[in-house]
């Protein structure tokens, strides 16, 4: 489904039930931040440390979304369980933690969306390792406070498994149906669908638009600037008595 709320049903998919309270869960890389260069430089540093050749930035960017281990495994052409991967992963994490935001910036609309939604409970759900997640959040000083941050490796399973959203809902005292997962990748959408949460895909991130569309989010947005209006319409729709609903 490719729904633009400015041109179609502002509530998104007709299968979504009204919710009087919603919490918004953001992905990090490619959704809130453009971290493509810093990730690529860290990956190429790790490859060089192991005697391997550097890869183009765009090729490394195509590996983003499933966490550092799988990214490095794909870049080095290794199995994720290979012992040879461990020193590469260590080199990547050490370098990236020290250079987490050398070139990283907020994506267009991220600042505005976080500011406009600051009155709601916000969460962050990323497959990025905890050490680099913390470094990015500390350095960028995002204009909103996240009630909970779930990073890669914090739980037994990462996205696209529903566990991160199930955990976030439990911590916030909400049902998973009251969560809105916002992301640029199919991992975000699959996680939301498996958890029974709403899913919002945002174009213009790191991951390929075709993969995001194929994941069929409830709503597709061209920019995060559209997100506050969408959330407001969802919440407003829930306030209308059923006898007055169209």
What are the residue numbers of the active site?
27
Please, where are the H alpha helices in the chain? 36-49, 57-61, 68-76, 85-98, 110-116, 130-140, 163-172, 186-195, 209-214, 227-239
Task: Tell me the pairing of strands 105-106 and 33-34.
Answer: antiparallel
Q: From CA 11, how far away is CA 219, in angstroms rounded?
A: 9
Residue with token string 């959040």: 137
CB of 133 closer than 8 Å to CB of 139: no
CA 187 to chain centre: 8
Best CA proximity match to 196, nearest among 174, 213, 229: 174
């Amino acid at each position: 489904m490719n729904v633009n709320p400015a041109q179609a049903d502002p509530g998104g998919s007709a299968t979504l039930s009204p919710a009087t309270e919603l919490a918004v869960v953001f992905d990090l890389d490619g959704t809130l931040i453009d971290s493509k260069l810093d990730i690529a430089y860290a990956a190429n540093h790790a490859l060089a440390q192991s005697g391997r050749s550097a890869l183009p930035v765009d090729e490394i960017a195509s590996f983003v979304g499933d966490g550092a281990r799988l990214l490095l495994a794909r870049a080095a052409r290794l199995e994720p369980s290979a012992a040879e991967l461990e020193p590469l992963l260590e080199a990547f994490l050490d370098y990236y933690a020290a250079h987490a935001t050398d070139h990283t910036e907020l994506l267009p609309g991220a600042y505005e969306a976080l500011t406009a939604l600051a009155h709601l409970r916000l969460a962050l759900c990323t497959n990025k390792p905890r050490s680099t997640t913390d470094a990015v959040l500390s350095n960028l000083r995002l204009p909103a406070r996240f009630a909970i941050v779930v990073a890669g490796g914090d739980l037994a399973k990462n996205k696209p498994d529903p566990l991160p959203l199930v955990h976030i809902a439990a911590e916030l005292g909400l049902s998973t149906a009251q969560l809105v997962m916002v992301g640029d990748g199919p991992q975000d959408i699959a996680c939301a669908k498996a958890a029974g949460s709403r899913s919002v895909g945002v174009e213009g991130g790191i991951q390929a638009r075709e993969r995001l569309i194929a994941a069929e989010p409830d709503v597709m947005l061209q920019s995060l600037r559209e997100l506050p209006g969408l959330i407001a319409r969802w919440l407003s729709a829930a306030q209308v008595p059923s006898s007055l609903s169209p």
